[in-house]
Amino acid sequence: MDITRKPLEEYVDDFRSISESIIEINEETNEKTYYIDGIWAQLELWNRNKRWYQKKEGEQVVEDFNGNRIPNRDKIFGELDHSKDSSPQFSRMSHIFENPLRIEGNDIYTKARVLSDTKEGQTLKVVLDEKLKYGVSTKSLGMLSKYKKNGVNGNLVSHWILKNVGDVVVDQSAPGATPKAIIEMIVENDPRMELIYGYEAITEVKKVLKRTKKAEIDDNLKALWKKIWEYEI
């Protein structure tokens, strides 16, 4: 069966309220190792994007990550802020997940070690030292279908593939900016567009634009009206 998954991003606001930062000090070298420990994803509830993640799929994701990705050191790191890529990028890594994921209730927990030898890891340490507000965001792929539960209409996520346990982000408004980000990639003829999102995303953007009044689109994107209909993969 042909399954087409869409890029998904989900956010947990102000990570400090549901987690803790841990600092371990090596008594011999006096070097500090930083960790962030807490909830990185949530299941069986409506999230801010009106998406519902099922616990049974969360259990499969956790089993795959613990059994395959951690032993194989496969995409077990996170970024400081989001890149446009659907998979984490070495050039932006700030922390690494070496502890298994675990589900408690409907929440997915784990601990990440902050990297000392990358620019992004050093910046993240400053964020923790200064007790700045931050959030975390998963990056994944999945199928969306209309779903109603507890009187709320939204989308049920199925065939969930976790690409990144979590990036550390400062601005949780990014989900609303995702269509614009995709549009800008199309306008710029970004070659990664094919590899990252494929034809389905372009089709989805076209649908969004068709429902949007031309006058409501940012001036910088008005040129898209002509170009997007001509764009071909």
- Closest C-alpha to 80, from 121, 45, 113, 41: 121
Q: Which residues contact 182 (CB under 8 A, 6 or more apart)?
A: 193, 197, 201, 202, 205
Regarding whether 147 and 183 lie in a shared domain, the answer is no
Structural domain harbouring 200? 173-233
Stronger pLDDT, 115 or 211, i.e. the higher one: 115
Arithmetic mean of pLDDT, 165-175: 66
pLDDT over 90 percentage in the chain: 33
Regarding whether 185 and 158 lie in a shared domain, the answer is no
pLDDT at site 136: 84
Task: Please say if the pLDDT value at position 85 is more than 60.
Answer: yes
Regarding whether 198 and 141 lie in a shared domain, the answer is no
Regarding whether 32 and 77 lie in a shared domain, the answer is yes
Task: Please say if the pLDDT value at position 43 is more than 80.
Answer: yes
pLDDT at site 76: 95
The secondary element (H helix, E strand) that includes residue 155 is strand 152-169
Residue 190 lies in a domain: yes
Task: Please say if the pLDDT value at position 66 is more than 90.
Answer: yes
pLDDT at site 42: 87
Mean residue pLDDT of the chain comes to: 77
Question: CB of 82 within 8 A of CB of 99?
Answer: no
